Amino acid sequence: MCPATAVAQSAQECSAEDAKEAKKKAGKLRSDGDDAMMKKQYAEALALYSEAISVEPNNEKNYYKRYKVHDKTGKHKAALEDIDHALEIKPDYLSAIGFRARTLMSLGRCMEAVEDFGRLLKAKPTHGDAKKLLPKARECARELGTGEQFMRQRNYAGAEKKFTDVMDNVGTSAHVKQLRAEARFRQGKFYESIADAGEVLKADPDNQEALLLRGRGYYLVGDHEMALRHFREGLKKDPEHVATKEALRKVQKLEKLNKDADAAVARGTTQSLKDAASLYAEAVKVDPEHREFNKKISTKLCAVHARLKQVKEAKLICEQAIRFDKNGIEPYVSLAELLSSMAEETPDFEEAVRAWHRAAEVEHDNRKVRDGLHRAEVALKQSKQKNYYKILGVARNADGGTIKKAYRKLAKETHPDRHGEKTEEERKLLQEKFELIAESYEVLSDDELRAKYDRGEDVFENQGNNQRQQHGGFPFRFHRRRP
């Protein structure tokens, strides 16, 4: 360096001496960097070449050397920046042009690679690598162009194939992989799209579009937690990214509706169940295309309508849930249980049996389904004979108190002694009805007899052949007890 007090030296002489010293120092740094590269000490090499650039910023060789470190460590964006700097300093730097062309092609930027190989051949027509790789770069550019055209035409399967072919021919690149991730996403291949976008983010963690695409993929497979994580990460990098903000708000809205509805179901009152039904219905409308979420919500809504005994709504929503997932057992069971519980009122025992059969086709080994089907078949059989539950006007799951209350009310209404003004024929009919009511109570108030009846077994001896008749066509003997 020139001393600050060197009055005798001209500024020009001092500058020349500084440049000479800088060149010497940069040369030493490059040499040390080369040694580090040979030893695969890439971090050390990067530091040495970077220092060489700071010492001698106008020497294209310094950028070219650092380009090689970035290229070796897979930092292609930084590598291209350095090789571009080298070519800005020396546009006819043929080695740099050749390396940039190779890098561009490996990144899927094949049209730019074609231009560089063309420049190289124009400067040196006998350049072996350029002659060999230019046709490959042109083919890559054509394939990419066709793939992008297919995307515009919504031929996403064709586009995916073209992008895959490009990577097979010129190597995997973040750019082409992102294009393929988009093509796969558009086909509903969400897990494959998520995988591709993940590879893109490994190479380029700040890629906003890849973060958004991967988040949307997680969203549509129903993993809202991962979707939120990606959207929030994207907004850290770009707080004003409109599409990411919209995606985040949509997931948050769905999660709140689902959470509030679940809480209403847990409260279990009639009003809270109605509130839950409204919330679930609102959630389904937020994004009709979100199949995984709507499948889950439709299943929940089906169960809520079933608990509310809203047959019409339950049938509609349960069938919708089944269309979302023909192998999901919950909506089949919810609908079958509802139809079974309502069969006494409808009455349509056969529909209940059909509903259980549909559930059995999905999971024939499911204990709950097997039991439900058996109960429905028993109820159907009993509906064609004498239905004790229907006679007393109680549900099949009625407790003892409810059964006793129903019996007392009906016995009081139909006891012949209370209808002395009736004709003999009318009193005879009342007697028969009274005896049926008493028989129903005898069976349903006895745990053992009721269990046999519910299993579809004969409650009394000779019930099957109807041998034991009483007056008025009453088919069974029984001893009435005082309740």
Q: State yes or no: pLDDT of 339 exceeds 70.
A: yes
234 neighbors 244 (Cβ within 8 angstroms): yes
Sign of CA dihedral 246, 173, 76, 72: positive
Amino acid symbol at 397: N
pTM above 0.85, yes or no: no
Residue 75: Cβ within 10 Å count: 17
Residue whose C-alpha is closest to residue 321's, from 269, 358, 366, 365: 358
CA gap 464, 279 in Å, rounded: 51
pLDDT digits (tens, 9 = 90+) for 400-432: 999 999 999 988 888 877 776 777 787 788 888
CA gap 248, 251 in Å, rounded: 5
pLDDT digits (tens, 9 = 90+) for 53-105: 999 999 999 999 999 999 998 888 899 999 999 999 999 999 999 999 999 98
CA gap 20, 476 in Å, rounded: 122
Residue whose C-alpha is closest to residue 219's, from 187, 185, 242: 185
Residue whose C-alpha is closest to residue 476's, from 425, 442, 445: 442
pLDDT of residue 3: 54
Confidence band of 391 (pLDDT split at 50, 70, 90): confident
Mean pLDDT computed over 462-467? 46
pLDDT digits (tens, 9 = 90+) for 206-246: 999 999 999 999 999 999 999 999 999 999 999 999 999 99
Residue 99 dihedral angles phi and psi, to the nearest 5°: -70, -35
Q: What is the mean pLDDT of the chain?
A: 87
Confidence band of 346 (pLDDT split at 50, 70, 90): low
| pLDDT above 70 as % of the chain | 91
pLDDT digits (tens, 9 = 90+) for 426-441: 778 888 888 889 988 9
CA gap 203, 398 in Å, rounded: 65
Tokens of residue 133, six digits: 């790789």
Residue whose C-alpha is closest to residue 339's, from 325, 327, 357, 321: 357
Question: Before 347, cis peptide (omega within 30)?
Answer: yes
- Mean pLDDT is lowest, of 116-120, 174-178, 182-186, 202-206, for 202-206
Q: Which residues contact 404 (CB under 8 A, 6 or more apart)?
A: 441, 445, 483
- Mean pLDDT is lowest, of 14-18, 171-175, 223-227, 351-355, for 14-18
Residue whose C-alpha is closest to residue 151's, from 119, 186, 103, 107: 186
